[in-house]
Amino acid sequence: MQLVRRMISIAPFALMAGGVALAQELPPPPPPGVATATQRTVTTTTTTTFPRPADALPQDQIMQDIAAAGYRDVGHLEFSNGLWVAKAHDGAGDSVKILIAPVSGHVYTENEPSRLDKDEIQSRLTAQGYQDVDDLDFDDGIWRAEARSSSGQNMDLIIDPTDGSVIASKQD
C-alpha cells in the first residue's frame, strides 16, 4: 500500500519530465531576405470510363436477361465502366457479382473461368482486325485489353471470355 502511495505521489513529476522530453523545438525561421524552397507533390489518377453505347439495352431488358440466365434477387444494378453490374443470387442461392454485356445482354459471373486462354483471345482479336494487343488481362470474369483498331485508333476493349468477341470498346 505504501508503494502505491509513493508511486501516485511521484506520477505528476514523471509526467512533467516525460512531457519535457517529448517537446520539440521548431527550427528558427530563415533571416529576412533569404529565400526558402518548398517542394510540392501532385498525384494524378487516371481511370478509364466506358460510355454507355447508343445501342445498349434498356435496364428493364437487362433485368429480363438476368432472370432468363437463372439469377434472382437482383440488387444494385448499375452501368459501370462498360458493363451492367449487379449483385444477385444464383440457382444455388449463393450471392454473386454478375456482369452483363450492354448490347447483347449476355450475363457473366465474376468468378467464372474463361473458356479461352490468353493466346486464343489474342488471335480472336487479331482476326477481328485489332493490332498491337497489349495489357490483355482476365479479371472478374471478363477479358480487358488495349489495342489498335484497323483504322489506327488506340482502343480500350472489353472481351467476351466465351468467344473472344468485343463486348464494349472506347477510343483511348
Q: What is the pTM of this model?
A: 0.68
My answer on whether 123 and 167 are in the same domain is: yes
The residue range of the domain holding 80 is: 59-109
* β-sheet bridge partners, residue 109: 98
My answer on whether 100 and 128 are in the same domain is: no
Which strands sit side by side in the sheet containing 142-148, from one edge to the other? 131-139, 142-148, 154-159, 166-171
Q: At 152, is the pLDDT very low, low, confident or very high (cuts 50, 70, 90)?
A: very high
The secondary structure element, H or E, covering residue 55 is none
Q: What per-residue confidence (pLDDT) applies to 50?
A: 81
Residue 18 · residue 10 · CB < 8 Å:
no
Longest dimension (CA), the chain: 90
Q: What per-residue confidence (pLDDT) applies to 156?
A: 96
Residue 157 · residue 125 · CB < 8 Å:
yes
5 φ, ψ to 5°? -60, -40
Question: Does residue 128 form part of some domain?
Answer: yes
Question: Does residue 18 form part of some domain?
Answer: no
For 24-58, how does the pLDDT look when each residue is reduced to its tens digit (9 = 90+)?
A: 566 666 677 666 655 555 544 445 578 788 889 99
Q: What per-residue confidence (pLDDT) applies to 128?
A: 97
Q: Give the lowest-confidence range in 2-11, 94-103, 112-121.
A: 2-11
Reply yes or no on whether the pLDDT at 142 is more than 80.
yes
* CATH code assigned at 67: 3.10.450
